[in-house]
Amino acid sequence: MTMQQTWRRLALGLGTCALVALAAGAQAADAPKKGGTLRYGTVSEVVSLDPHVYGGSAWKVLIEALYSPLAGYDKTGAVVPRLAERWEQPDARSIIFHLRPDVKFQDGTPVTADDVKFSLERILDPATGASLRSNLMGATVSVIDAATVKVEKPSADATLLGVLALPEAAIVSRKWVEGGANLKLAANGTGPFLLKNYEPAVRASLARNPSYFIAGQPYLDGVDFRMIKSDDARVNALRSQSLDMIDFVPWKDIDVLRRNAGMKIDMAGGAFMSVWFNTSKKPFDDARVRRAVSYAIDREAVSKAAFFGHGQPIYGAPTPEDSPYYNKALDGTYKRDVKQARALLAEAGYANGIDASMVVFQGLGIYTTMAQVVQANLKEAGINLKLEPVEWATLVERKNRGDYESMIYGVSVKLPDPDAYAYYLGGDSSYWAKPIGYRDPELEKLLADGRALTDPKARQPIYAQVEKRILDTTPWAFVNWREQAQGYLRKVQGYTQLGGALSESSPGISLPTMWLN
């Protein structure tokens, strides 16, 4: 196995248990049954179906079910064809995609290269607020013929194909969008399922797409998404079998549910929790204050209290120890040091203490428990933190407006590549940075330098500098890894829980080949 193959496997978190699960899933899928509707309970409320504007884990599952990008990821983490049946990369900065013939959108109109150009240019349009705009910045899209399109960057970009394989790079119908469609409330995609009904923040009903371009898929007749923000209500619905599957199994319930013979709990790592700062507002516009917070947090206490042993502190940057991009010298950067935290606050002019606020999602126990631990930790350092509990939709709205001083947020890396930092921190057009106008020219240059190289050994020192810069400026305070669990009844077959960069996408990748026994 080459270093690149090993890194891909490690980046995806595919340890022994996950590989066993892959094998088991393959065996179970040998004789799938068609039919039935999967009843899926999710904690996060989906308030928009726009496929280009990230809206949370449940949103991502829905988008993967309804839309298709040019390429996608499979259960091994490999990039595989989706709307494009093949492609070639004539050089390190361009890709030529050849579309599948006879693929149609839900409304029956054919998918053409013009739709691809329109979709990718919509992502690049600042007015869209697209999550991948910063990753695709500078790209040009040229239509060669009705079934062929070229995507080109100004300079070499080792991440281009991986970015275009993300669900957020979905292809939409130009005719439909320009005809006045509301992408937040309706869908017209090419995915394995069609949208039947959608009630924002409450429910979404999907039906099999009879024209899906992968023969024989999906196996399910439909999927019924129910948005249930209460941890206990979601677990009780699974226990009573009124749901077939739930996401974000509460960490307090994982070990108990594992002992239930009628259900299965699948877990994988890759997601992590952080404190996000609004670097444009006082008091967190000062890097010394942000660093003080990072020193004050007791990560071990957070891991124990919120994750019941299914989490691990992050004292440096969120790169796994077994990754070739892991930098041991940075591990331990922010081990708890209240004295240092107080010194930094004093240096920043807050020797007498500081008042600040933190927005917290109240629907998931890990958020509220973590917030309470962080609040107590910061008080010891002289920071009086006021917690603002909100619903998920409100949290996303306030994040998108930059209406917060700090907030707790859990994410995963978005790519099985160290350039994943660019998705969040790569300039004022990136997902987190855009609403608060965050810019760090030094970090942006390092990220650009890393993207321009394809040799992992040549990239390693650059991404060590990237992580050093992030830790020095602390736009985020990385707190801990979290193992993530999906729970489902034994009758649900064909599911694979992935880790790392694809942890959020596990249900979406699995849905076309899931079935009910």
Q: Measuring CA to CA, which residue among 444, 416, 395 is closest to residue 503?
A: 416
Number of domains in the chain: 2
- Would you say residue 20 lies in a domain? no
Same domain, 257 and 275: no
Of 18-32, 153-167, 290-304, 474-488, the poorest mean pLDDT is in: 18-32
Same domain, 224 and 304: no
For position 62, which CATH number holds?
3.40.190.10
Q: Measuring CA to CA, which residue among 194, 226, 225 is closest to residue 210?
A: 194
Same domain, 503 and 448: no
Task: Give per-residue pLDDT as tens, 379-397.
Answer: 999 999 999 999 988 998 9
Same domain, 249 and 386: no
Same domain, 325 and 424: yes
Of 106-120, 188-202, 322-336, 496-510, the poorest mean pLDDT is in: 496-510
Same domain, 340 and 233: no
Same domain, 192 and 55: yes
Same domain, 307 and 255: no
- Position with higher pLDDT, 1 vs 153: 153
- Would you say residue 477 lies in a domain? yes
Give the pLDDT mean for 32-42: 96
pLDDT at 428: 78
- Taking CB atoms within 8 Å and a gap of at least 24, the contacts of 21-30 are 21/266, 21/496, 21/497, 22/75, 22/76, 22/496, 25/75, 25/494, 25/495, 25/496, 25/510, 28/493, 28/494, 29/493, 29/494, 29/513, 29/515
Q: What is the pTM of this model?
A: 0.84
- Would you say residue 68 lies in a domain? yes
Give the pLDDT mean for 354-361: 97
- Would you say residue 125 lies in a domain? yes
CB proximity list for 132: less than 8 A, separation 6 or greater: 52, 123, 163, 166, 168, 169, 423
- Would you say residue 18 lies in a domain? no
Rounded Cα–Cα distance for residues 223 and 41 (Å): 10
Same domain, 430 and 494: no
Pairing of strands 84-91, 515-516: unpaired
For position 432, which CATH number holds?
3.10.105.10
- Position with higher pLDDT, 309 vs 298: 298
Q: Does residue 11 surpass a pLDDT of 70?
A: no
Q: Does residue 18 surpass a pLDDT of 80?
A: no
Same domain, 461 and 508: no
Q: Does residue 13 surpass a pLDDT of 70?
A: no
Give the pLDDT mean for 69-78: 93
- Position with higher pLDDT, 270 vs 2: 270
In degrees, to the nearest 5, what angle opens at C-alpha 396 toward C-alphas 305 and 382?
50
The secondary element (H helix, E strand) that includes residue 87 is: strand 84-91
- Would you say residue 219 lies in a domain? yes
How many residues in total does the chain contain? 517
Structural domain span for residue 63: 37-262+490-516
- Would you say residue 352 lies in a domain? yes
Q: Does residue 1 surpass a pLDDT of 80?
A: no
**Range with top average pLDDT, 4-8, 72-76, 234-238, 309-313:** 234-238
Same domain, 496 and 479: no
Average model confidence (pLDDT) across the chain: 91
- Position with higher pLDDT, 43 vs 16: 43
Same domain, 218 and 235: yes
- Would you say residue 77 lies in a domain? yes
pLDDT at 321: 83
- Position with higher pLDDT, 498 vs 118: 118
Q: Does residue 44 surpass a pLDDT of 60?
A: yes
